[in-house]
Copies of this chain bind each other. A is one copy, B any other.
Amino acid sequence: MSILAKFSFKDQAFKLRENAILDATTTVLSGKGYDLMTMDDVAGAVGISKPSLYKHFKSKEELVGEAMIRLLDGAIEQIAALDAGLTPLEKLSALLEWALRVRLGGGLPFLPSTSPHVRDMLMRNIKYMLKVVKLNRQLEALVKQAQKDGSLNAELPSDVILFSYYARTCDPAVEFLSKFSKMSDDDIVRHMLTVAFKGL
């Protein structure tokens, strides 16, 4: 029992540190992007040394993969937590709003679009791709429902809507507005939602 408790405690501490590492990774990633992020950056941000970092994640690719997976988990949780009374369109809108707010809060670089390098790396990551497929299935269902009830343009292929929807979660206009206009985060989110669903 005491041994079990010890194991469990160690396990918890381990998980905690891993989470701290993934937090730091997310921060550094959102600031510099994948290619410019070094393992020294991450180790430094966490306050540990590089070899210790490698005890937790055996490569840079794995580290970033895990950070992205945690991100997808967040999105999947968000969907699950949505009020069941919402219409499909309202759900899609709420989820996009959540993604934009996470990004404005300094998280979520949503790299897949960023560079071919990162995209290919993630597509080789089975664990990541499984989550993507899961998330994609749910979003595709929402899109098709919204097209059926007329709240999304039914003349567009659902592919187009779905990919464009993903693209809006990492719309660079968000960074530009956040950097070059004096707009509040709330206003940015509101306007971006308008642009996404109603157009320019």
Shortest distance from the beta carbon of A141 to any chain B beta carbon, whole Å: 16
Q: Which of A13-21, A66-74, A150-158 contacts B (4 or more CB under 8 A)?
A: A150-158
Q: Which residues of B contact A114 (CB under 8 A)?
A: 33, 114-115
Residues of B within 8 A of A198 (CB): 153, 198-199
Query: Size band of the A side of the interface?
Result: 35 or more
Give chain B residues whose Cβ lies under 8 Å from the Cβ of A85. Answer: none
Answer whether A173 and B164 are a contact pair too, CB < 8 Å, given A35-B35, A191-B157, A197-B200.
yes
User: Which residues of chain B have C-beta atoms less than 8 A from A153's C-beta?
Assistant: 194, 198-200
Minimum CB–CB distance from A45 to chain B (whole Å) comes to 16
Q: Answer yes or no: A105 CB below 8 A from chain B CBs.
A: no
- In the complex this chain forms, how many copies of it are found? 2
Interface centre among A112, A171, A176 (most CB of B within 10 A): A176
Interface flag for A183 (CB, 8 Å): yes
CA distance A199 to B156 in the complex (A): 11
Question: Which chain B positions have C-beta within 8 A of A180?
Answer: 159
Q: How far is the CA of A115 from the CA of B157 in the complex (A)?
A: 30
Q: Are B173 and A32 in contact (CB under 8 A)?
A: no
| Interface pair B200/A117, CB less than 8 Å apart | no
A-B contact pairs, 5 of them (CB 8 A): A32-B115, A36-B115, A114-B115, A163-B173, A199-B199
Q: Which of B116, B171, B173, B177 contacts A36 (CB 8 A)?
A: B116
For the complex of A and B, list the 5 residue pairs with the smallest distance between their C-beta atoms, beginning with the closest.
A199-B199, A113-B172, A35-B35, A163-B173, A33-B115
Q: What's the Cα separation between A183 and B163 when bound, in Å?
A: 13
Q: Is A167 an interface residue (CB 8 A)?
A: yes
Q: How far is the CA of A112 from the CA of B175 in the complex (A)?
A: 11
Instruction: With a 10 A CB-CB cut-off, give which of A33, A170, A183, A192 has the most chain B CB atoms.
Output: A33
* Residue from A152, A160, A180 having most chain B Cβ neighbours under 10 A: A160
